[in-house]
Amino acid sequence: MLLIPGIIGSGVQLGDFESIATVTVGAGGAADITFSSIPSTYQHIQVRLSCRDNRAAAVNTIFIQVNGDTGNNYALHALAGDGSNASATGSSSVARGALLLAPSASATSNVFGSAVVDVLDYANTNKNTTIRTLGGYDANGAGHIRLFSSLWNNTNAVNSLKLFPDGSASFVQYTHAALYGIKG
């Protein structure tokens, strides 16, 4: 039995994943990547993200909003490491969940951050939605790794996900996101 990392301890096998949608950002960049009309026929959904943005800094945070909800209905926790230091943080009553600390315009050229984002029990209307992310990037020993756990404080089924960089930044060309459904 070949088990797939990401849905830890669940016994998910290779054949349990079905591609729902993919997006690759073109030459003009994109302010966000939105997956809409997500079917409710899976146990969980997973986004695999490889990205970089154009913010005039070395790194930027990539965020997520569910079903177009821009209210302060999210909470998040993060465990972080950069090769030298470890840290933890948390926030509640914020307007978005967090996914990844990704390279930006002044980071090493052509370095992209990657993340695996699990949206657990996304169609269950009896509980709030949990989003778990493991992601990071390498910059010759000066990269970052983060484990984010975000809560969308709402019991509605998830039917859309919006991924976007902080501030007025945009995803750059070759940023790629793939949405998968995971059978139960």
Domains of the chain in start order, with CATH, are 16-129+142-182 (2.60.120)
Tell me the pLDDT tens digit for each residue of 128-150. Answer: 999 999 999 987 777 889 999 99
How is residue 138 written in tokens? 């390498």
DSSP state of 107: S
Tell me the pLDDT tens digit for each residue of 27-83. Answer: 999 999 999 999 999 999 999 999 999 999 989 999 999 999 999 999 999 999 988
Task: Answer yes or no: is pLDDT of 1 > 50.
Answer: no
**Side-chain-side CA neighbours of residue 33 (13 Å):** 27
Neighbouring CB atoms inside 10 A of 169's CB total 22
pTM: 0.91
Classify burial at 77, counting beta carbons within 10 Å of its beta carbon; exposed 0-12, middle 13-18, buried 19 or more: middle
Question: Which residue has 């990392």 as its token pair?
Answer: 5
